[in-house]
Amino acid sequence: MYESYMQRALELAQLGWGRTNPNPLVGAVIVKNGRIIAEGYHKRLGGAHAEVAAFLNAKEDVAGGTLYVNMEPCSHYGRTPPCAKAIIDKDISEVVIAMTDPNPKVAGRGIKMLKEAGIKVVCGILEKEAKKLNEIFIKYITKKKPFVIMKTAMTLDGKIASVSGDSKWISGPSSREYVHTLRNRVAAIMVGINTVLVDNPSLTTRLDFGESRDPVRIVIDSKGIIPIESRVINVESKSAVILATTTALDNEKEKRLIDKGVQILKLDGPRGHVDLLKLMDELYKLEIDSLLLEGGGGLNAAALNMGIVDKVMTFIAPKIIGGKDAKTPVEGLGIESMEDAIKLHDISITRFEDDFLIEGYVKGA
Ligand code: AOF
Ligand code: ZN
């Protein structure tokens, strides 16, 4: 019973995808006399927390009911008052929780408040699923850095473009649609300058159905050579464009970019490169909790080497194009010994028509 109501809370939580960042995805269900009498979820940043949303939706008295919620109710005054207090005030008898809140401001205090008020608390129901759902929030709130997903699409022979640079399209329509779902969920998307020069992407979200919103679009451009007329700068979008560059950026160019609404971050790193570690700290300060890294190979290699990648998502299309000079997902100098290879864990495979998506996590990110 606990599991099925928690499953429902997890489903509700997902309705908030891409709208709650940098807050978690939270859903709540209230059960009384063996049936659901209220449901709610966290809809958007600054809005009611899931528990309060469920109270607002209740059509009958919730007193004596059991509340199911996928994250420990909060105990602090943040953008909204503490949910643990609201639960106590509503006379809920039992609270079933999937995971404790990793936010240091809460971290067990919500559960403590409930127990002290005499409410029965059960914790750990569908905990693994709940932690996976909020993997972004857990990383962001505990490590104070965005959760980085390196996404690539390659042929069966490991190429991301043909020898002539053609890459439209490696993966099929249903894989590409899924990438737009991802763009709709994450706070930001990031590419290297070569991708801008070669593909001229807009980096916006295009969904076939439903309301879409664009992630903040970040371009890594150490020398400041981005063309002013690039699509990413000029396409119609409500989302910001951040140019992560260095002091090599020419003053005149900087002014023109700022006039176009581009935000400039100058983060000088070793050998004239942008310091990716500093960038992660800056993005945390901007409340960017998640980053979809969409290449190219040079930037992917740098990101892996700097240890900023948390998750890898690789689409493999059953096509063969060959060519020793055709680009691959990870360039750089490469690792010499297999023993030192970056190994992924918690691997999963999903099929999108003829393509396979392989996902896994990088240790210690
Ligand atoms: C949410 N939604 O349903 C729950 C949250 O500053 P605030 O008021 O937005 O609070 C954010 C914190 O509240 C968040 O970091 C998490 O610790 C806790 N729980 N947050 O946005 C919810 N239950
Ligand atoms: Zn709350």
- Who's near 130: CB < 8 A, 6+ residues apart? 6, 10, 70, 71, 98, 99
pLDDT of residue 212: 87
Compute the distance from residue 180 Cα to the ligand 2 centre, in Å. Answer: 30
Q: Is the per-residue pLDDT at 364 higher than 80?
A: no
* 71 Cβ closer than 6 Å to some ligand 1 atom: yes
* 87 Cβ closer than 6 Å to some ligand 1 atom: no
Please check if 83 is assigned to a binding site. yes
Please check if 63 is assigned to a binding site. no
Residue nearest to atom 21 of ligand 1 (CA): 23
Distance CA 49, CA 36 (A): 19
Compute the distance from residue 39 Cα to the ligand 2 centre, in Å. Answer: 15
Distance CA 23, CA 134 (A): 9
Distance CA 69, CA 6 (A): 7
User: Active-site residues: which are they?
Assistant: 51
Looking at ligand 1, which atom is closest to the CA of residue 20?
21
Looking at ligand 1, which atom is closest to the CA of residue 102?
17
* 79 Cβ closer than 6 Å to some ligand 1 atom: yes
The hierarchical CATH code for the domain 144-362 is 3.40.430.10
Entry field: residues in the chain: 365
Q: Is the Cβ–Cβ distance between 259 and 278 less than 8 Å?
A: no
Q: Report how far Cα 63 is from the mean position of its chain's Cα atoms.
A: 36
Map tokens 């949303």 to a residue: 53
Asked if domains 1-137 and 144-362 share a fold, the reply is no
Residue nearest to atom 9 of ligand 1 (CA): 79
Which spans in the chain are helix H?
A: 2-13, 50-57, 83-89, 109-116, 127-133, 135-143, 173-185, 193-199, 231-234, 251-259, 276-285, 297-305
Q: Is the Cβ–Cβ distance between 70 and 57 less than 8 Å?
A: no
Compute the distance from residue 82 Cα to the ligand 2 centre, in Å. Answer: 5
pLDDT by residue (tens digit) across 198-208?
A: 999 999 998 87
Domain extents for the chain?
1-137, 144-362
The share of the chain scoring above pLDDT 70, in percent, equals 100
Mean pLDDT of all residues belonging to the chain: 96
Compute the distance from residue 84 Cα to the ligand 2 centre, in Å. Answer: 7
End-to-end CA separation in angstroms for the chain: 36
Architecture of domain 1-137: 3-Layer(aba) Sandwich (3.40)
Q: Is the per-residue pLDDT at 323 higher than 70?
A: yes
> What confidence tier does 365 reach under pLDDT thresholds 50, 70, 90?
low
* 311 Cβ closer than 6 Å to some ligand 1 atom: no
pLDDT by residue (tens digit) across 114-173?
A: 999 999 999 999 999 999 999 999 999 999 999 999 999 999 999 999 999 999 999 999
What's the CA angle centered on 34, arms 33 and 37, to 5 degrees? Answer: 75
Please check if 299 is assigned to a binding site. yes
Give the ligand with the smallest distance to the CA of 84: 2
Q: Is the per-residue pLDDT at 1 higher than 90?
A: no
Q: Is the per-residue pLDDT at 295 higher than 90?
A: no
* Ion ligand 2 nearby residues (CB, 5 A): 49, 74, 83
pLDDT by residue (tens digit) across 66-88?
A: 999 999 999 988 888 899 999 99
Q: What are phi and psi of 83, to 5 degrees?
A: -70, -35
pLDDT by residue (tens digit) across 30-56?
A: 999 999 999 999 999 999 999 999 999
pLDDT of residue 357: 98
The share of the chain scoring above pLDDT 90, in percent, equals 94
Distance CA 108, CA 130 (A): 16
Q: What are phi and psi of 59, to 5 degrees?
A: -100, -10
